[in-house]
C-alpha cells in the first residue's frame, strides 16, 4: 500500500525553464563573457545539482552566485503546471504524505514553493545540498523516505529526468516519468521509469486512499 509520493520540482511541479534560461544567460555573461550561453547542453543535465552541472560542462563554479541571485529575483514568474494544485490537494485528502527531492538547494526550493503557495502541501522539501550525493545517486530519495518514515515499497517518485528515475531505482522506489513538460521523451524513456504519466492527474490511479484516512 503506497502512503507517500516524492516529487522532483522543476519540470514536474513548476515550469521553471524560461526563468532558468534567463538566469543561466545572465550568469554566463557575467562570469564567462559574450557569446551564446550553452543552455541546450545545460538543460540535458537538469535534475543534477547546479555545481555538478558546471563541473560536467567545464564551466566556472563562479556562475552559481549570479545564477542563484537571478533565480530568486525571477521566482515570482515561475508558473505552476496546470493540475498540480488539484493533484496535491487530492493526495493530501487521500492521506498521503508528500516530499520534494530536487536538484536545487534546499533553501531555494523552499523559497520558491513558498512564493508559489505550494509549500504547505509538503511534509519535507530536500535539496541537493542537504545530502552527501545528489541525483542520480539514491541518497536524496532515501533521505526523503527516512524523514517520511516509510519503506521504499510504500512510495513513488515522480520525475521528468533520467537522474530522477535513476535515483528512484537506486532507492528501490517505484519510478513515475512525468511527460507533461517534455518536448522530447527519448532520454526519459531510456531510463526505464516503471510508469508514465501524461498529466498530473494520472498519478491518482497509483495512489488510492490510505486506509483509515
Please write the tens of the pLDDT for every residue from 130-176. Answer: 999 999 999 999 999 999 999 999 999 999 999 999 999 999 999 99
Across residues 176-204, what is the average pLDDT? 96
Integer Cα distance of 45 and 57 in angstroms: 9
- Cell reading at 101: 527531492
Domain covering 4-15+78-206, topology: Rossmann fold (3.40.50)
pLDDT band at 70 (very low <50, low <70, confident <90, very high): very high
Residue 183 banded pLDDT, cuts 50, 70, 90 = confident
pLDDT reported for residue 164? 97
Q: How far apart are CA 32 and CA 35, in angstroms?
A: 9
Active site residue 202: no
Q: Grid coordinates representing 115? A: 512564493
Q: Are 175 and 47 in contact (CB under 8 A)?
A: no
In angstroms, rounded to a whole number, what is the distance separating the alpha carbons of residues 42 and 153?
33
- Catalytic option among 10, 15, 139, 160: 10
Phi-psi domain of 67 (left: phi exceeds 0; alpha: psi -120 through 50; beta: other): alpha
Catalytic entry in 8, 15, 160, 164: 8
- CA-based angle 88:137:167, to the nearest 5? 35
Alpha-carbon gap, residue 185 to 198, rounded angstroms: 11
Length of the chain: 213
Does the annotation count 8 as an active-site position? yes
Beta strands of the chain (E only): which ranges? 4-7, 97-101, 124-126, 155-159, 174-178, 195-197
CB 50 within 8 A of CB 64: yes
Q: What is the mean pLDDT of residues 33-42?
A: 93
Q: Cell numbers of 45, please?
A: 543535465
Please say if the pLDDT value at position 213 is more than 70.
Answer: no
CA max distance for the chain: 60
Amino acid at each position: 500500500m503506497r502512503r507517500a509520493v516524492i516529487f522532483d520540482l522543476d519540470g514536474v511541479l513548476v515550469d521553471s525553464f524560461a526563468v532558468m534560461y534567463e538566469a543561466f544567460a545572465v550568469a554566463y555573461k557575467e562570469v564567462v563573457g559574450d557569446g551564446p550561453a550553452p543552455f541546450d547542453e545545460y538543460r540535458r543535465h537538469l535534475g543534477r545539482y547546479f555545481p555538478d552541472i558546471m563541473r560536467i560542462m567545464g564551466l566556472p563554479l563562479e556562475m552559481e552566485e549570479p545564477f542563484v541571485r537571478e533565480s530568486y529575483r525571477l521566482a515570482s514568474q515561475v508558473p505552476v503546471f496546470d493540475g498540480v494544485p488539484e493533484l496535491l490537494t487530492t493526495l493530501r485528502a487521500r492521506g498521503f504524505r508528500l516530499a520534494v527531492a530536487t536538484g536545487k538547494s534546499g533553501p531555494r526550493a523552499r523559497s520558491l514553493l513558498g512564493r508559489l503557495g505550494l509549500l504547505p502541501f509538503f511534509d519535507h522539501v530536500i535539496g541537493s545540498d542537504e545530502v552527501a550525493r545528489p541525483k542520480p545517486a539514491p541518497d536524496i530519495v532515501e533521505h526523503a523516505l527516512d524523514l517520511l518514515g516509510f519503506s521504499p515499497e510504500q512510495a513513488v517518485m515522480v520525475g521528468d529526468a533520467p537522474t530522477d528515475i535513476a535515483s528512484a531505482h537506486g532507492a528501490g522506489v517505484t519510478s513515475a516519468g512525468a511527460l507533461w513538460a517534455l518536448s522530447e521523451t527519448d532520454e526519459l524513456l531510456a531510463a526505464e521509469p516503471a510508469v508514465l504519466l501524461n498529466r498530473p492527474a494520472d498519478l491518482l490511479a497509483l495512489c488510492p486512499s490510505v486506509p483509515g484516512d
